[in-house]
Structure 1
């Protein structure tokens, strides 16, 4: 789903008060971390991912990998925190994506 500017703005405002749910640490961006992010996105649709200080990963490179591997949209990158969105495949978890489509 290609997001327009107003949709990204809506998602950024919705994620403003969220705490990061997934963290990338010393081990880097492994398959298990990707699976965790994908599973969390399927339940929440909009999450924050933080890069801890002890990781060698760069936020922009992590954003590219997430978009390529998971098929999600990285809405915003601020420092070491990424705001990530992907519509849920399960209908009962589709709350934010319904609002995004209306915009």
Structure 2
């Protein structure tokens, strides 16, 4: 799903007050973590994921892998936090045009 800049700004504003729903542990990105992220996206549509790693390339790979495996859109990645959005059939969040 492609988001316009206006839509991304809207989602960033909504995500600002959110706490990370999923925290990656020492095992990294596992099937169980991906399933938990998928479940959280189904429930909330907009989530934050905390990726504790000092390696930028590894963080980039993890954020891309999460987006691909969950069919979610990466809205923003700052520091150790990544924000993902995936629209549901019963949308809770109405995006601006």
Whether the TM-score (by the shorter chain) exceeds 0.5 is: yes
- Give me the CA root mean square deviation: 1.9
Residue 92 of structure 2 is matched in structure 1 by 95
Quick check: 1:74–1:85 contact (8 Å CA) kept in 2?
A: yes
- Cα deviation, residue 60, structure 1: 1.3
| Separation in 2, partners of 1:20, 1:86 | 16
Q: Hey, which bits of structure 1, 4+ residues long, moved more than 3 A?
A: none
Aligned residues: 96
Q: Structure 1, residues 44-86: CA drift from partner, whole Å, max 9, x if none?
A: 00000001359xx832111110121111001000011000100
Distance 1:53 1:68, change over 3 A: closer
Residue 61 of structure 1 is matched in structure 2 by 61
Quick check: 2:77–2:83 contact (8 Å CA) kept in 1?
A: yes
After TM superposition, the structure 1 = structure 2 runs for residues 1-103 of structure 1, keeping only pairs within 5 Å, are 1-52=1-52, 58-89=58-89, 91=90, 94-96=91-93, 99-100=94-95, 102-103=96-97
Distance 1:46 1:78, change over 3 A: same
Quick check: 1:59–1:79 contact (8 Å CA) kept in 2?
A: no
Q: Structure 1, residues 78-102: CA drift from partner, whole Å, max 9, x if none?
A: 011000100124x2xx211xx11x4
Structure 2 runs not aligned, ≥5 long = none
